[in-house]
C-alpha cells in the first residue's frame, strides 16, 4: 500500500485515473478531491452536513467540476445507471446498512460500471479478529460509527459482486468490484 505523502499515495491510486461520471460516497471533508484528474464530473455524498460544507470548500480547488450533496450511501439521490464509477474510501466501515448501500450503488452504476474501494477490513488473523470485534462497540461511538470488524470483501461477494483485490496491507485493502449477477 502506498503511503500517503505529499503526492497522496493511495488516494491518487484510487481516484486519479478514473474517467467519466464518478460518484464518491462518504466524501467526508474532501480529502480525495484534489486527486481526481481524469473524471468528467464528480458527484459526492456525505451524510454529515458540517463535513459536507468542508468538502464543498475543498472542491473549490479541484481540477474537475464537483457537486456535493448531503445524503447517505443507503439512499442515493441519483437516477438509475447514472455513473461510470463509484468510489468508497474508508467509508463502508461506518455505513449503517452495507447491503442497502451496495444495492443503491448497483442501482446508480451504469452497466459495466466499477466500484472502487479503499477500506479497512476485519483482520484475517483470528486473534486480531477477536480483538477488533471486542473493541468495535466502543470504537464506533468514538469514530463516526466506524466498525473495525466489517468483512467488506465477503459482504460484496455475498451480494453478487465480483471482487478484484489490488493491494492488501495489514487490515487495509484496495479493491475494484463489478456486479456479477
Residue 29: how many CB atoms within 10 A of its CB?
17
Query: Domain 10-121+149-179 in CATH: superfamily?
Result: Vaccinia Virus protein VP39 (3.40.50.150)
Note the helical H segments in the chain.
10-15, 49-59, 98-108, 126-142, 152-158
Going by C-alpha positions, the residue among 88, 64, 123 that lies closest to residue 11 is: 88
Residue 45 is placed in which grid cell?
A: 455524498
pLDDT at 154 over 90: yes
Band (pLDDT 50/70/90 cuts) for residue 8 is low
- The stretch 44-69 carries a mean pLDDT of 96
User: d(Cα 62, Cα 36) in Å, to the nearest integer?
Assistant: 8
pLDDT at 4 over 50: no
Q: What confidence score (pLDDT) does residue 3 get?
A: 43
Residue 142 is placed in which grid cell?
A: 468514538
Q: What confidence score (pLDDT) does residue 180 get?
A: 82
Amino acid at each position: 500500500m502506498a503511503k500517503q505523502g505529499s503526492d497522496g499515495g493511495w488516494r491518487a491510486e484510487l481516484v486519479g485515473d478514473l474517467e467519466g461520471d464518478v460518484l464518491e460516497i462518504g466524501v467526508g471533508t474532501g480529502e480525495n478531491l484534489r486527486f481526481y484528474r481524469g473524471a468528467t464530473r464528480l458527484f459526492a455524498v456525505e451524510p454529515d452536513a458540517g463535513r459536507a460544507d468542508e468538502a464543498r470548500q475543498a472542491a473549490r480547488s479541484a481540477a474537475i467540476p464537483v457537486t456535493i450533496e448531503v445524503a447517505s450511501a443507503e439512499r442515493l439521490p441519483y437516477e438509475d445507471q447514472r455513473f461510470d464509477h463509484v468510489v468508497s474510501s474508508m467509508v463502508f466501515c461506518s455505513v449503517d446498512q452495507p447491503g442497502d448501500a451496495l444495492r443503491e450503488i448497483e442501482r446508480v452504476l451504469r452497466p459495466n460500471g466499477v466500484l472502487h474501494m479503499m477500506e479497512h477490513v476485519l483482520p484475517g488473523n483470528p486473534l486480531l479478529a477477536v480483538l477488533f470485534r471486542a473493541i468495535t462497540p466502543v470504537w464506533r461511538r468514538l469514530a463516526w460509527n466506524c466498525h473495525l470488524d466489517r468483512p467488506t470483501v465477503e459482504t460484496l461477494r455475498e451480494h453478487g459482486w465480483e471482487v478484484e483485490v489490488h493491494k492488501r496491507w495489514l487490515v487495509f485493502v484496495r479493491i475494484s468490484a463489478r456486479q456479477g449477477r
